[in-house]
Amino acid sequence: MSQGFGAPGAGQPPRELRPDSNSTAAPPPEERMVEELAYRRLSGILRVVFVLLTLGGIGLVLNQQFNLHLFGYTLVENRYLFLLAAATLPLVFLAYPWHPQAVRRGGIALGIDILLCLVCAGALLWFALKAELILGEGWEFSAPAMAKILGAVLWLLILEALRRTGGTAIFIIVTIVSLYPVLADRLPSPLNGIGQSLEDTLAYHIVSAESAFGIPMRAFGEIVIGFIVFGVALNHTGGGKFFNDVAFALVGRWRGGAAQVGVISSALQGSISGSVISNVISSGVVTIPAMKRTGFRADYAGGVEAVASTGAVLMPPVMGSTAFVMASFLGISYGEIALAAAVPALLFYFGLAMQIDAYSAKLGLRGLKAEELPSLWQTLKDGWLYIAVFAVLVWLMISEQQEAMAPFIATGMLLVINQILPKHRLTWQSLLELGMATGRALAELVAILAGVGFIIGAFSVTGLAGTLANDLVYLAGDKPIVLLLMGAITSFIFGMGMTVTACYIFLAIVLAPPLVKAGLDPLAVHLFIMYWGMISFITPPVALATFAAAPLARTSPFKIGFQAIRLGAVIYIVPFFFALNPALILKGEPAEVISVIVTAFVGVGLIAASIQGWLIGAGRLSGTPLHLLARIMLAVGGIALAAPGGNLIPVSNTTLAVIGGGLALGAFLLLKLTNRDTLTV
């Protein structure tokens, strides 16, 4: 994918701001992504087979979603999911070797992976052929011997695919929990459940509509896959470059402009792709070197990109694919979810932008010169294709409520127009690369979703899913804030190593019911677990987004992680605010909603100033005991202003605003006296 800027007429930056400006620069994006993601570069017949399987999987989805009746009829759901898995899951063994260091090796390792690919496809096709018998004869409770044998084989293959794509941590968690039914009747309460034999458990995981081919795979086959395809197609047709150009043109001149570019560019790209890691890589290849060369420390630059890319999945209008899964869980329209998510997402990015500005002011960092930046008008003129496609996508989703078909229609429109225009026209080779990238993305996600399904299936077959909500409410002692803290910790743990969508699906089944039962708003609860499920992306020791940013920033991922905690501070507290009072998600009386939103933005700005040690109009917040006192006052005042009173918070919004405003005013006056001889712009 091309990065950087367009033609010279668009206003390219000087050479020192480009990622390839010297001999010590990072390797080309494609080569670096191969090393980081550790996928195998296929060639010859394997490359063709890989693309054909990918197209076959997409064709199955199109047939199901558009009722094309390519097989003479619409497939029953379990047959459709088995066939879709047969077209995508075997790709894991072709694309991802057993160990990252084996990425460039062939020989025996490749031969074994081809065998695993064939066995996986064959077993899934067998279950697809038996789909009607599975439903008619109730195989999930009494499977024949062959189903048990092939079920055990598929269980092993899915776990291995999960290990290759998701990592060792999630592999261990899923393996242990998937075997929980074997010991459930021997465990003490509250973990006690209905026990199952090993062979029945493994068969249940494959043939049941509650496990590997249950809710996660249904979400993949009905909604998620379309947005994966759209995101990959957008990047391969130059969308990433367009978003970067727009961001540079809008905020490149600001103080610390290179970092503000990273915020906007990542928000635009990540909202569509729904993938934190790919967003870090595709956007960070331009923004992180630019930040470093304009004065930002390496760990700070990496932290900005990691945090901005993580928050992008929360950003309307698209919010990746998770919002559509949420809509199906809650039985409401996608538009209602996007509207509710708007204010928390804007608070998150406002807090990040204010921290960057404060950091830049403290260090005296300036923006880029006008002649170094692309022209906004020229960029929008050259990128009308992406604007039109994006508008069609949003219109189909919100106005026509065609969430499942919208990304496929937008992708088709994008590719057709792209091939008509000469600028980003794809060659046969680049079309093949597009197919390969799409297949890898689908294979990675289907492996993780099937693995998450094992956890759901284990809780379902033992009856634990039905009792867990009551147990958690009982343990929390009927105190919503305690239950929220328990939920935050649970979400953080299960967010380790999972995709956003996979983590959300699991938590929506296990964690959302007890929170709703405690009296919290259902939409606020689902947004809460989505937010906290993502926090592990920027929080050490896991912090996958920081590990993705580390090679680009050329520093330790843990240093980036600790910066990311500071920069992403808002994401840790805002979910509690809207869960305890849904005014922040636009639920309540208009006057209350407006006042809560206004005070929240002011509060977040004060928190950002306290964290970075600089307040606009007052100057530096470090160096003396009085500065420390002012900093504490700003932090406490900011939290008081940002927290919405009323509802489950036993203090009114007015009282909190008065307390917060008083502390902030006192801190400001103290700083004006302390910094009276200092420049405080």
DSSP letter for each residue of 154-191: HHHHHHHHHHHHH-HHHHHHHHHHHTHHHHGGGSPTTS
The Cα–Cα gap between 162 and 121 comes to 16
3-class secondary-structure state, position 62: helix
Average pLDDT over residues 27-37: 40
Q: Which residue has the higher pLDDT, 292 or 35?
A: 292
CA distances to 290, 390, 520 from 9, rounded to whole Å, are 20, 25, 54
**pLDDT for res 319:** 75
**Strand bridging mode 619-620 / 614-615:** antiparallel
Query: What pLDDT does 355 receive?
Result: 93
Q: Is 192 part of any domain? A: yes
> Is 85 domain-assigned?
yes
Residue with tokens 């930056």: 13
Whether the per-residue pLDDT at 472 is higher than 80: the answer is: no
For residue 190, whether the previous peptide bond is cis, meaning omega lies within 30 degrees of 0, is yes
Each residue of 482-506: pLDDT tens digit?
888 888 887 787 776 566 777 788 7
Q: What is residue 439's predicted lDDT score, i.e. its pLDDT? A: 94
Q: What is the DSSP letter of 38?
A: T
**Amino acid identity at 506:** F
Give the CA angle between residues 271, 273, 275 to the nearest 5°: 100
Single pTM value for the model: 0.77
Q: Average pLDDT for residues 567-580, to the nearest whole number?
A: 91
Total domains in the fold of the chain: 3
Verify that 45 and 61 share a domain, yes or no. Answer: yes
pLDDT of the residue at 203: 95
The pLDDT of residue 78 is 92
Q: Where in 447-575 does DSSP place strands (E)?
A: none
In 613-674, which residue ranges form alpha helices assigned H by DSSP?
A: 625-642, 653-674
Give pLDDT, residue 633.
94
Amino acid at 345: A
Helix 334-363 vs helix 298-312: angle between axes, to the nearest 10 degrees? 170
Q: Give the chain's length.
A: 681
Please check whether residue 610 lies inside any domain of the structure.
Answer: yes
What does the alpha-carbon distance between residue 121 and residue 581 come to, in Å, rounded to a whole number?
49
pLDDT at residue number 104? 60
Q: In 3D, which of 107, 123, 122, 121 has the Cα closest to residue 40? A: 107
Q: Would you give the end-to-end CA distance of the chain in angstroms? A: 40
Least confident stretch, 24-33, 226-235, 285-294: 24-33
pLDDT given for residue 680 in this prediction:
52
Please indicate, yes or no, whether residues 400 and 516 belong to a single structural domain of this protein: yes
Estimate the crossing angle of helix 569-580 against helix 590-612, to 10 degrees.
160
Provide the pLDDT for residue 480.
79
* Token reading at 623: 């160096």
* Within a domain: 304: yes
Least confident of 270-284, 308-322, 557-571, 615-629: 270-284
- pLDDT for res 227: 83
Q: Are residues 186 and 281 in the same domain?
A: no
Which pLDDT belongs to residue 118? 97
Q: What phi, psi does 614 have (nearest 5°)?
A: -155, 130
Same domain, 516 and 599: no
- Over range 55-62, report the average pLDDT: 94
Give the whole-number percent of the chain exceeding pLDDT 90.
36
Predicted pLDDT at 24: 34
Kind and range of the H or E run holding 302: helix 298-312
pLDDT value of residue 594: 93
Q: Are residues 583 and 599 in the same domain?
A: no
Our CA angle for 9, 11, 14, nearest 5°, is 125
Q: Give the pLDDT of residue 207.
A: 95
- Considering 551, 569, 587, which residue would you say is the last residue of a domain? 587
For residue 13, is it within any domain?
no
Residues 575 and 593 in one domain: no
Mean pLDDT of 503-527: 85
Which of the four pLDDT bands, split at 50, 70 and 90, describes residue 10?
very low
pLDDT for 257: 87
Q: Is residue 468 part of a domain?
A: yes
Could you tell me which residues come within 8 angstroms of residue 70 by beta carbon, excluding any fewer than 6 positions away?
Answer: 59, 63
Residue 582 and residue 635 in one domain: no
pLDDT in tens, 162-188: 999 877 877 888 899 999 999 999 988
The residue written with tokens 């040690």 in the block is 613
Q: How far is CA 354 from the centre of its chain?
A: 23
**DSSP letters for 78-112:** HHHHHHHHHHHTTHHHHHS-SSGGGTT--HHHHHH
Instruction: Give residue-wise pLDDT tens across range 584-599.
Output: 999 988 998 999 999 9
Domain that holds residue 64: 30-214
Asked if residue 660 belongs to a domain, the reply is yes
In this structure, the number of other CB atoms found within 10 A of the CB of residue 558 comes to 15
Using DSSP, state whether 479 is helix, strand or coil.
coil
User: Given 587, 609, 628, which residue is the final one in a domain?
Assistant: 587
- Domain finish residue from 545, 568, 587: 587
Same domain, 332 and 399: yes
Contacts of 585 (CB under 8 A, 6+ apart): 340, 341, 343, 344, 521, 523, 524, 527, 578
- Determine how many CB atoms are found less than 10 A away from the CB of residue 414: 25
- Is the confidence at residue 658, as pLDDT, over 60? yes
For the purposes of burial, counting CB atoms within 10 Å of the CB of 331, is it exposed (0-12), middle (13-18) or buried (19 or more)? Answer: exposed
Residue closest to 470 by CA, chosen among 421, 510, 419: 510
Average pLDDT, the chain: 83
Q: What is the predicted pLDDT for the residue at 28?
A: 39
Clarify whether residues 624 and 512 are in a common domain. Answer: no
φ and ψ at residue 59, rounded to 5 degrees: -60, -40
Same domain, 354 and 289: yes
Residue 652 CA to its chain's centroid (Å): 34
CB-based contacts of 300: which residues, under 8 Å, 6+ apart?
259, 291, 359, 563
Separation between Cα atoms, residue 142 and residue 579, nearest integer Å: 43
> What whole-number distance in Å separates Cα of residue 359 and Cα of residue 613?
8
Q: Are residues 177 and 256 in the same domain?
A: no
Are both 310 and 422 inside the same structural domain?
yes
Helix (H, G, I), strand (E, B) or coil at 614: strand
Is 24 a domain residue?
Answer: no
